[in-house]
Amino acid sequence: LRVAKVHASRDGSLVLDTLILGDTPRFDAHDPAQAAKLAEILAYADAQGHAAEREAIARHLAGTSAEYVRAVTPERARVTWERFHQVSGTDDTHVVVEPEDDLKLSRVVIMVGNTTPRRFFYRAASLFGRRGVDIRRAYLDVFEDGHNGFVSMLTFLVLAPEGGPIDPQSAFWQSLKTELSRLKWLTEAAFELHGKERHLGVVNAEVVMALASLTHQVLSRESAYAYAKDRVSAIAARHASLSGTIAELFRERFHPERPLDEHAFEARAVMVLDSIERSVEADDARRVLTTMLSAVRHTLRTNVWLERRYGLALRLDPELLARPEHTEKPYGVFFLHGRGFDGFHLRFRDIARGGLRVVRPVGPEQLALETDRVFDEVYGLAQAQQLKNKDIPEGGAKGVVVCAPDVSVTRVVKAFADGLLDLIVPPEELPTRIVDRLGKPEVLYLGPDENITPEHIEWIVDRARRRGYPLAAAFMSSKPGAGINHKVYGVTSEGVTVFLDAALRAIGIDPRSQPFTVKLTGGPDGDVAGNELKILHREYGERARIVGIADGSGAAEDPDGLDHQELLRLVEGSLPIADFDRGRLGPKGVLAKISDPSGVKLRNTMHNRVV
């Protein structure tokens, strides 16, 4: 969506919407009319005492559309540049209201980084309608923002519900401003819930859906069907009065100015429990709602009151997710919920390091499967890291995020990392106080894992620096241009091969002269498995028979060994196992892509089936 304009007749009986899609003609300095308009805008900036910023303003205008330059007044261009500057380089949202020339109207301006303009425009218009705000005119402009992407500016000329301008000091505007600030990052489930249960408010609807997702993680082990994520969310929505009360209790417990003390919280919690017991008949619904309340009790810190947050982040007491089979209690657990993702960060010591992994399923069935097991996965991976780190000061940690198939991985990585920063940056760097029921600061160290790119790493470190995190450079390891690139040098895989060699000899196999078989979970496009394939070929040649490989794209199996040259082709091309050439399979070989009818099952069972 390149341009959106809304015009209403004076009596409100007719509305004309103009929506233009397609490539936007950009500003052209060679066009005499546009060049003259640019000179006029810069002359105005000089006259207003902003000559020092003229180059920045000129660069900003060079990234706008020809239509915007032709239509904008010099004064409005200057103000717009200031607002653009506030969100440039980020994915933030900036919302202001100001009087319009027509004194009955107010102008609401929303600047938002890297959003889908069409979807955001729809959400904003829907929210205004839900709140009784009458849109008289509306405009959309999109500005380039260098390597960070783009910034959208949505301008609405509106009437307040009572028919006049919006009072910027009113509680109504403060509430509406918060809700508009949340729109980009709000989950679809929360947006739909608010549409049906408007009394909840946008933020409480968001909290309800987040607590439902967390409750699913707590209960799914008891019954995968009864407490499937969709069913838990549906129960929370069906009992919106009670779940909304729990969400409001959550917010009041962490109110930055007047948080509930423990005595007041427990008294309110008892009242909620009593309401659940009296009014909810179904056992599974009672279990869901009481677990949502328990999640509030086990939350030690949250960013729910930060207006510009990217998702909802909770620092949890690990006891909430304790399971009988867990042999060691984590030191700390963070849960993050946002648009298109759920994720955890877990560590076993105060000072611990581990990679951040994004799991991106390819369809709804795999999404449900990966979501069901995300906490078990993050626990197992962090515990493995803890065991690996037994002889060094740092403990083991891991972050795992499950990302919906149609959602941008980059947006999810930004939301997850920024949510963690919300809860660990020094309090003086935060615009709103975060109530801390943990009682001590925390330091987190991340590293890259699956689906994390160098661009993500650079953004995370830059964001930590912008947010005032004192150890910004250490927040994420493997920064380009610093240290040793594990994937280039195969650092982890070289160590794995040393252990493999020793293990083979311990069971009576000399890998230098005898054949042996190997199976791998991890694809040829990954760091560890890809380099391991290269090293196995380098050290042992055809004596290393690769009988099975499974990764996110599928699985390949052959009891006689998969073709080395084809595997090395995939490694060099950074291609997953699903790209294995079927023509290079042996007579007993099988290739199962995740999209095949039995692909998910074959991929998920390869490590147990293949000998």
Sign of CA dihedral 571, 577, 579, 580: positive
Q: Residue 152, SS3?
A: strand
Contact present, 58 and 148 (Cβ < 8 Å): no
Rounded to whole angstroms, the Cα distance separating 520 from 529 reads 7
Tokens (6 digits) for 214: 């967390």
Selection from 573, 558, 570, 569 nearest residue 518 by Cα: 558
The distance between the two most distant Cα atoms of the chain, rounded to a whole number of Å, is 90
A 10 A CB-CB count for 188 gives 13
DSSP calls for 548-591: EEEETTEEEE-TT---HHHHHHHHHTT--GGGS-GGG--TT-EE
Tokens (6 digits) for 369: 């499967």
Q: Give the contacts of 259 (CB within 8 A, at least 6 positions apart).
A: 252, 253, 435
Torsion of CA 296, 302, 307, 308, to 10 degrees: -130
Contact present, 303 and 185 (Cβ < 8 Å): no
Selection from 100, 168, 193, 175 nearest residue 131 by Cα: 175
Catalytic residue annotation: 398
Rounded to whole angstroms, the Cα distance separating 591 from 581 reads 9
Contact present, 525 and 575 (Cβ < 8 Å): yes
Q: Residue 451, SS3?
A: coil
